[in-house]
């Protein structure tokens, strides 16, 4: 159950936090393409944003596992740092070379920011049910 919940947290953190920040970057002219890319991806032909969210879901499992015992500011900081460093390192060191894409400093910084926001989203979604406890006034 934990892994499923973490996958869902990572999936929706991709759609809301990662792609939300990407949309902001696009509106500020910082990136040349809009968020929520619907171009079919290879090899299955699903929209690129859905493929990205799927991978975000898979990454959500280890991130949620590594932050689960933490509390307070350490919980949020660790989620942001693991989220920023892990997926960005894999993208820049493995995915970009496989796709013959250039790795530039602005790409690395953008990846760290986007994936750090995603990590915070994972942390928020993993805490979501506990934050929604009914208050004493609603009894």
Read off the pLDDT of residues 25-64 as tens digits, 9 standing for 90 and up.
999 999 999 999 999 998 899 999 999 999 999 999 999 9
One digit per residue, the tens of pLDDT, for the chain of length 139 reads 999 999 999 999 999 999 999 999 999 999 999 999 999 998 899 999 999 999 999 999 999 999 999 999 999 999 999 999 999 999 999 999 999 999 999 999 999 999 999 999 999 999 987 654 444 334 4
Residue 28 lies in a domain: yes
Residue 71 lies in a domain: yes
Q: State the pLDDT at residue 111.
A: 96
Residue 75 lies in a domain: yes
Residue 139 lies in a domain: no
Q: State the pLDDT at residue 132.
A: 47
Number of domains in the chain: 1
Cis peptide before 43 (omega within 30 of 0): yes
Residue 31 lies in a domain: yes
Residue 77 lies in a domain: yes
What are the structure tokens assigned to 9, written together?
């947290």
Q: State the pLDDT at residue 42.
A: 86
Q: State the pLDDT at residue 89.
A: 97
Cα dihedral across residues 91, 31, 45, 38: positive or negative: positive
Residue 108 structural domain: 2-128
Residue 133 lies in a domain: no
């Amino acid at each position: 159950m934990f892994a499923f919940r973490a996958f869902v947290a990572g999936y929706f953190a991709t759609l809301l936090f990662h792609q939300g920040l990407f949309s902001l970057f696009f509106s500020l002219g910082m990136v040349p393409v809009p968020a929520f890319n619907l171009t079919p991806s290879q090899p299955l032909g699903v929209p690129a944003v859905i493929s990205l969210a799927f991978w975000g879901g898979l990454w959500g499992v280890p991130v949620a596992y590594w932050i689960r015992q933490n509390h307070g500011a350490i919980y949020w900081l660790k989620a942001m740092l693991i989220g920023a460093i892990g997926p960005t390192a894999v993208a820049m060191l493995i995915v970009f070379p496989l796709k013959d894409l250039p790795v530039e400093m602005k790409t690395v910084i953008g990846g760290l920011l986007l994936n750090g926001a995603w990590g915070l989203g994972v942390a928020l979604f993993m805490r979501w049910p506990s934050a929604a406890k009914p208050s004493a006034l609603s009894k």
